[in-house]
Amino acid sequence: MNELQPSVILGVAAHPDDLDFGMAGSVAKWVKSGAKAYYLILTNGNKGTHDRSLSQDQLRDLRRDEQRAAAKILGVTEVFFCDYNDGELENSLEVKECVALRIREVKPDVVLTMDPTMVYSSRRGFINHPDHRAAGQACLDAVYPLARDHLSFPDHAKNGLEPFEVGTVLLVNFETSNYYVDISKEFEIKTRALRAHKTQVGPAAITMIRTWAAEAGEKAGCKFAESFVRVDVS
C-alpha cells in the first residue's frame, strides 16, 4: 500500500478532542509536508464534564476554544463547528449534508473520521461513544455517494459548490488497522494539542495515548504510530 501524501485533509468527528486523540500526529506530519488541514466538529461538546459548576453553554464555549487552540498547534487551517447537542448526534440526512457541504467546499483528497463499526473494545476496556459511531457513518455516507452526486443537495451549486469525489478515507478504529503513519517525530506535538483540551485531558489520557502509539509503532516498525483502516475509494 503506497504512502499517502495528501494535499488537502478533512477530519470529521463528533466532539472537540476526538480528532486529536485519533489522528493529530498524522495531521501535523502532513501539514509539515505542505498539506492544508481542516476540522469539522459535529456536536457542541456540551455534556462531557464531571464539573458541576459548568453550564452546558459554558462547556460548549470552553471546548470550542480548546479545539481552536489545539488546531493552531497542529497548523490546521480552519475548524468548522456544527451545533448538535453532545450525546444526541444521529446519522440523519441533515448531518450528512453538513459533511457533504464541507467536502464540496474544501475538496479533500483524504478524509479522516471514526470507524462506525467499532462499538466497543473489551481489551482496552471502553465502549465507543454513540456520537463517534454516528459521526463516522454520516461521514462515510457523505463521502459516498452524497458529495459525489450532483443530484444530492443541488442547492449547494447555488453557492458555487460542485460535486466532489474523495480519493481516500482513513478510519480510526484502535483495534483493526491496515495502514500506519509514523508519528515518531510528531508525537510531542500531538500531546501538546491534546493538552490544549484542558476540560477533557489529564495525565492519564496522555499515558494511554503514549501506550497506544507505541503499540501501533511496534507493528509499523517505528517508535510511535497512528493506525487506521484505509479505504481507497474507487
Q: What is the DSSP string of 130-167?
A: HHHHHHHHHHHHIIIIITT-TTSSGGGGGGT-------
Tell me, what's the pLDDT at 88? 96
Tell me, what's the pLDDT at 213? 96
> Per the structure block, which three cell numbers stand in for 110?
483524504
* Closest listed residue to residue 144, CA positions, set 124, 131, 172, 163: 163
> Per the structure block, which three cell numbers stand in for 86?
453532545
Buried residues in 165-188 as b, exposed as e (16+ CB within 10 A): ebebbbbbbbeebebbbbbeebbe
Tell me, what's the pLDDT at 141? 98
What is the 8-class DSSP label of residue 38? E
* Closest listed residue to residue 107, CA positions, set 153, 62, 41, 161: 161
Q: Under DSSP, is residue 218 helix (H, G, I), strand (E, B) or coil?
A: helix
- Domain edges within the chain: 8-232
Tell me, what's the pLDDT at 1? 74
Cα gap 131→145, rounded to integer Å: 21
Question: Is residue 11 within 8 Å of 57, Cβ to Cβ?
Answer: no
CATH code reported for the domain at 8-232? 3.40.50.10320
Tell me, what's the pLDDT at 6? 97
Tell me, what's the pLDDT at 84? 96
Give me the tens of pLDDT residue by residue for the chain, a chain 234 residues long. Answer: 799 999 999 999 999 999 999 999 999 999 999 999 999 999 998 888 887 888 898 999 999 999 999 999 999 999 999 999 999 999 999 999 999 999 999 999 999 999 999 999 888 888 999 999 999 999 999 999 999 999 999 999 999 999 999 999 999 998 899 999 999 999 999 999 999 999 998 899 999 999 999 999 999 999 999 999 999 997
